[in-house]
Amino acid sequence: MATLKPGVVTGKDYKTLVAAAKEGGYALPAVNITGTNTLNAVLEAAAKAKSDVIIQLSNGGAQFYAGQGLSDGFQAKVLGAVAAAQHAHLLAEHYGVCVVMHTDHANKKLIPWVEAMLDEGEKFYERNGKPLFSSHMLDLSEETIEFNLGECARILERMAKMGMSLEIELGVTGGEEDGVGSDIDESADNSKLYTQPDDVLQAYDRLTPLGHFSVAASFGNVHGVYKPGNVKLRPEILKNSQALVEQTHSTGHNPLNLVFHGGSGSEKAKITEAVGYGVFKMNIDTDTQFAFSQPIGSFVEENSKAFKYQIDPDDGTPYKKFYDPRKYLRAAEVGIVTRLQEACEDLGSNGKSIAG
Ligand SMILES: [Zn+2]
C-alpha cells in the first residue's frame, strides 16, 4: 500500500490519497474551519483517529480567519485563506497524518476569489515547488451547465499546471451555507435538486482531459441540520452517474471522485452506501460548529460568576483561571476532537491514514 509523508498533500500525492480512500472503501471528513482553534482541533482529531483529513474554508470562514477588522472584505477572504493554508503547511506534518487543504463553495460572484487565491498559489508554487492548496471548489450549479463547465474548464487548466484538483458541483445542494446555496423549496425543479447522470457524463468528458477533478453531486443532501423527515437521501443517484460514465467509457469501477455535501446529521447507513458509490469526501460543518460551541455554553453555565466578576464579590475568590480564554476554547476544541472522531468511524477512515 502507498504511504505518503505526513502534512499537507498536493499534486500526485493528493491523487494517491483520493485513490486510497476509494479503494479502501472509506471517505475523509472535510471540516470547515474559521481560525486556529478549529484548525488545530481538526488536526488533533485526525491524529487521534489516525485518519487523514480535509480542512476547508468557506469565503466567510477565510474572511474571519484574516480578522473581521480588515476593512477590505475581498482582500480578507484571500489573505485569510492563504494564512490558514500556511498555518497548515507549517503544523500539519507534526500531527502525523495527511491533510488536504481546500476551499469550499465559490459561486459566480466568487470566481474572482478563487482566481485571487490562484494568484497567491502560483507565487507559492514558484517559491516552494508545490501548491498552497490541494484543491479549490467552484460551485456554478445555479448557472447553466454550459457556463458551469466552461468556467470549470478554464479554472482547471490553470490549476492543473500546479497539479491542483478542482471540485465542481452539479445539481443544487439544498440549504444555505455562508450565503451560498438555496433555501429548501419542495416545489423546486426536481432535476436541479438531484444531479442528472447526463450532466455528470458531460462534465467527465469535458474535464478529464484537462486535469484532476471531483464532483459534488446532489442526492437529496442539504446544508445544515433539520428535523428528521426533511431530508431524504437517495445515494442511488450517485450509483447511476458512476454507471453511466463506466459504461460509456469502459472505465474501471467508480470512475468519478464524488463529494458528499451536507453530511451533518446523516444516517450512518446512507453514509456507508454513498461511500460505496465512490464518495471519498464528506463535508461536516454544522455538526462540528455545534460540537465547538456546546462545551462553551456548558462552561459558562457552570462557571457563570467568572464571566461576570474577576473576583467573587461575596468571598473574594479570584476567577482568572476560569475566564482565561484558553479554558473555554480548549473545551470547545475537545468538542470538535470528540465529534470528529465519531465522524471518522462513520466514514470508516479511522486507523486508515496512509501517512508513513
Ligand atoms: Zn456544501
Distance 180 CA to ligand 1 centre (A): 8
Helix%, strand%, coil% for the chain, nearest 5: 50, 15, 35
User: What distance in angstroms lies between residue 206's CA and the mean position of ligand 1's atoms?
Assistant: 23
Q: Ligand 1 centre from 354 Cα, in Å?
A: 26
Rounded to an integer, what is the distance from CA 55 to the centroid of its chain? 6
**Does residue 178 carry a catalytic annotation?**
no
Active-site residue, from 13, 52, 72, 104: 104
| 72 CA → ligand 1 middle, Å | 25
φ/ψ of residue 137, rounded to 5: -110, 140
The per-residue pLDDT for range 214-235, each reduced to its tens digit, is 999 888 888 877 776 666 788 9
Nearest Cα to 275, choosing from 225, 197, 348, 204? 348
Q: What is the 3-state secondary structure (H, E, C) of 296-318?
A: HHHHHHHCHHHHCCCECCCCCCE
| Model pLDDT, residue 224 | 79
Q: What is the pLDDT of residue 191?
A: 61
**What separation in Å is there between the alpha carbon of 219 and the centre of ligand 1?**
13
Distance between Cα 313 and ligand 1 center (Å)? 48
Q: What spacing in Å lies between the alpha carbon of 283 and ligand 1's midpoint?
A: 7
Instruction: Please calculate the CA angle 284-239-27 and round it to the nearest 5 degrees.
Output: 35
The strand pairing partners of 98, in sequence order, are: 7
* pLDDT score recorded for residue 223: 82
- Cα distances (angstroms) measured from residue 66 to each of 59, 216, 272: 11, 27, 36
pLDDT given at position 186: 47
**Residues 128-154 pLDDT 10s:** 999 999 999 999 999 999 999 999 999
pLDDT tens across the length of the chain (356 residues): 789 999 999 999 999 999 999 999 999 999 999 999 999 999 999 999 999 999 999 999 999 999 999 999 999 999 999 999 999 999 999 999 999 999 999 999 999 999 999 999 999 999 999 999 999 999 999 999 999 999 999 999 999 999 999 999 998 776 666 555 554 444 445 566 788 999 999 999 999 999 999 999 888 888 877 776 666 788 999 999 999 999 999 999 999 999 999 888 888 999 999 999 999 999 999 999 999 999 999 999 999 999 999 999 999 999 999 999 999 999 999 999 999 999 999 999 999 999 99
Distance, CA of 57 to CA of 68 (rounded, Å): 15
* 175 membership: H or E segment, kind and range: strand 175-177
203's enclosing H/E stretch is helix 197-207
Please tell me the predicted confidence (pLDDT) of residue 230.
Answer: 60
Å from CA of 262 to ligand 1 middle? 6
Instruction: Give the distance (Å) from ligand 1 centre to CA of residue 356.
Output: 31
Q: For residue 50, give the C-alpha cell.
A: 489516525
